[in-house]
Amino acid sequence: MIRIENIKKSFNGKEVLKGISGTFEKGKPNLIIGASGTGKSVLLKCIVGLIQPDDGFVYYGTTEFSLAPRNDKTEIRRQIGMLFQGGALFDSKTVEQNVMFPLDILTDMQPAEKLDRVNFCLERVGLAGQNGKLPSEISGGMQKRVGIARAIVNSSKYLFCDEPNSGLDPLTSIKIDELIMEITEEYKITTVVVTHDMNSLLGIGENIMFLHEGEKKWEGHKDDIIHSNVKEFEDFVFASKVMQKLK
């Protein structure tokens, strides 16, 4: 479980996060949603430690991340897997080398053992047999899958996904969402997904946090959306005519 308390962050005097608190539970996908520029990605980067918050606390279990000694911080980071918006695969490495990378650096596993683990993860994300391809030789959806395989290869306890559906067609997006959901439930990991995709919201929104202009405006389950009674949230969710009809 991850708990955040009163996270604040400003850039050049502009307050991007205005004291966000919340809990991300284990074994189900936790969604951070909101329109572009509301601070979702900044909040995610504050949680994983890529950005230092101006104020507030991030707890991984019972350990406060920003105040933890360097070794503890490194230990927590080594339990984190992250899927970046653009995949962030290493261009010069093959699919296999990309997925194997955390094992090469962070473990003492034997080469055969590492290869077995990589093949298992690639099979799990539906990319068996793609080992020798370079990131430039595979589609955007496949790159996201490789990113997920790399994120879980080291048996991560925490999975963070920054806009996992961006740039993907609706069908591939749904498949990526399902994969995230399955992996989260199967390995009982704490998953945090930043998105503004409505399919994701309605498909895997077990625990949703809605941000608007740097503030948390609503929190709940996807089934509670219809009863939210928060104007900004309703404006966001029911922006399209299709969603209005559904409502």
Partner 1 sequence: METLGKYFIFLGKLFVNTENFKTYFKLTMDECVNIGINSIFLVSLVSFFMGAVTTIQTAYNLISPLIPNYVISLVVRDMTILELAPTIIGVIYAGKVGSSMSSGLGTMRISEQIDALEVMGINSTSYLVLPKILGSLITYPVLVILSGLLNIVGGYLAGTLTGEITPFEYIYGIRYEFNDYTVTFALIKSFVFAFLVSSISSFKGYYTTGGALEVGKASTAAVTQSVIAILLADYLLAQLLL
Residues that bind partner 1 (CB under 8 A): 45, 48-50, 70, 73-78, 80-82, 84-86, 88-91, 101-102, 104-106, 160
Nearer to partner 1, 154 or 212 (CB): 154
Angstrom CA distances, 162 to 43, 51, 67, 174, stand at 11, 14, 24, 15
Please state the closest distance from residue 91 (CB atom) to partner 1, in A: 8
Nearer to partner 1, 101 or 120 (CB): 101
Which amino acid, residue 127? L
CA–CA distance, 222 with 237 (Å, rounded to integer):
11
Nearer to partner 1, 78 or 222 (CB): 78
Nearer to partner 1, 153 or 201 (CB): 153
Please state the closest distance from residue 90 (CB atom) to partner 1, in A: 6
Please state the closest distance from residue 36 (CB atom) to partner 1, in A: 17
Please state the closest distance from residue 179 (CB atom) to partner 1, in A: 19
Q: Give CB contacts under 8 A, 24+ apart, made by 123-129.
A: 124/149, 124/152, 124/183, 125/149, 125/179, 126/179, 127/95
Nearer to partner 1, 67 or 90 (CB): 90
Contact 147, 88 (CB under 8 A): yes
CA–CA distance, 95 with 114 (Å, rounded to integer):
14
Nearer to partner 1, 134 or 230 (CB): 134
Please state the closest distance from residue 69 (CB atom) to partner 1, in A: 12
Angstrom CA distances, 215 to 37, 90, 129, stand at 12, 35, 45
Please state the closest distance from residue 243 (CB atom) to partner 1, in A: 31
Q: Which among 177, 170, 95, 183 is positioned nearest to 136, based on CA atoms?
A: 95
Contact 17, 7 (CB under 8 A): yes
